[in-house]
């Protein structure tokens, strides 16, 4: 058994968890943000003894608070589902947000990704129609009372297989195949981050102390090992 190696795996685990907590706190004001979760479990590490390895990691898919804004281009999704958008890397998914109309008259995210219609095309609403636009509960985009498109809304049987691609964006893949979804679309509102800042700060302090304790333990073990080797060397002389 190597106590220093075992302690190292624990320190790495605490550091990884701390990174996730810091990332969550940095996005406490990001609309639709889903907190990151990292879990570890004890495992046997051969002749090194017992240590810890990552058991699971992924987003916390619990709903964030609904925040009413009154802004026409804001939308939140209630229930299972995500809004499909397209960027330089292809199709991505987001939990609604604060939209804009780009220079081509398309609905888009503030970060540039264009919102997709059900058929995969962009949603054309016309430049300057901010105050004339709205959304129905089923996801229709309406301009001056006329439907101009249907939002592409998708859900995943295993959302934990989605890969994070930015603060609020996710991408699918072979293990995360999208299917049509029917969440309730709430216009004039956004979903807030599901990160609890108070709980996050408490967890950050706890993990920092645990990491420091783990490192101090390794130092003490190393000093004890060195002292033992020195004593053995003295006897051998």
Which residues are bridge partners to 37 per DSSP? 58
**175 and 158 Cβ atoms separated by less than 8 Å:** yes
How far is it, in rounded angstroms, from Cα 19 to Cα 54? 14
Q: Of 179, 152, 176, 180, nearest to 162 (Cα)? A: 176
CA distances from 229 to 11, 17, 56, 68, 223 (A): 25, 35, 39, 67, 10
Whether the per-residue pLDDT at 48 is higher than 50: the answer is: no
pLDDT digits (tens, 9 = 90+) for 141-186: 999 999 999 999 999 988 888 988 876 899 987 778 899 999 999 9
Q: How confident is the model at residue 44 (pLDDT cuts 50, 70, 90)?
A: very low
State the burial class of residue 3 (Cβ atoms within 10 Å of its Cβ: 0-12, 13-18, 19+). Answer: middle
Residue with token string 């499909």: 84
Residue range 15-19: mean pLDDT, rounded: 86
Cα–Cα dist 112/100, whole Å: 9
189 - beta bridge partners? 68
Could you read off the pLDDT of 202-234 as tens digits, one per residue?
Answer: 988 988 888 788 777 777 776 766 666 666 555
Which residues partner with 39 through β-bridges?
56
Any bridge partners for residue 74, and if so which?
Answer: 98
Instruction: Tell me the pTM.
Output: 0.76
Rg (CA), the chain: 25
Tens-digit pLDDT profile for residues 110-152: 999 999 999 999 999 999 988 899 999 999 999 999 999 999 9
């Amino acid at each position: 058994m190597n106590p220093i190696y075992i302690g190292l795996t624990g320190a790495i685990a605490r550091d990884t968890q701390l990174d996730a907590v810091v990332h969550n706190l940095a996005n406490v004001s990001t609309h639709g943000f889903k907190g990151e979760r990292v879990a570890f479990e004890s495992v046997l590490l051969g002749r090194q003894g017992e240590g810890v390895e990552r058991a699971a990691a992924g987003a916390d898919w619990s709903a964030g608070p609904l925040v009413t804004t009154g802004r026409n281009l804001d939308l939140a999704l209630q229930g299972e589902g995500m809004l499909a958008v397209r960027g330089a890397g292809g199709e991505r998914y987001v939990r609604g947000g604060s939209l804009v109309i780009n220079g081509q008259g398309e609905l888009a995210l503030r970060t540039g990704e264009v919102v997709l219609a059900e058929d995969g095309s962009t949603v054309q609403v016309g430049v300057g129609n901010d105050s004339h636009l709205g959304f129905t509960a089923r996801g229709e985009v309406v301009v001056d009372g006329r439907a101009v498109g249907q939002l592409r809304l998708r859900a995943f049987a295993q959302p934990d297989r989605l890969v994070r691609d930015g603060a609020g964006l996710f991408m699918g893949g072979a293990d995360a195949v999208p299917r049509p979804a029917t969440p309730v679309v709430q216009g004039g509102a956004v979903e807030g981050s599901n990160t609890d800042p108070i709980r996050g700060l408490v967890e950050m302090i706890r993990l920092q102390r645990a990491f420091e304790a783990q490192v101090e333990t390794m130092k003490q073990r190393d000093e004890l090992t060195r002292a033992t080797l020195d004593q053995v060397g003295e006897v051998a002389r």
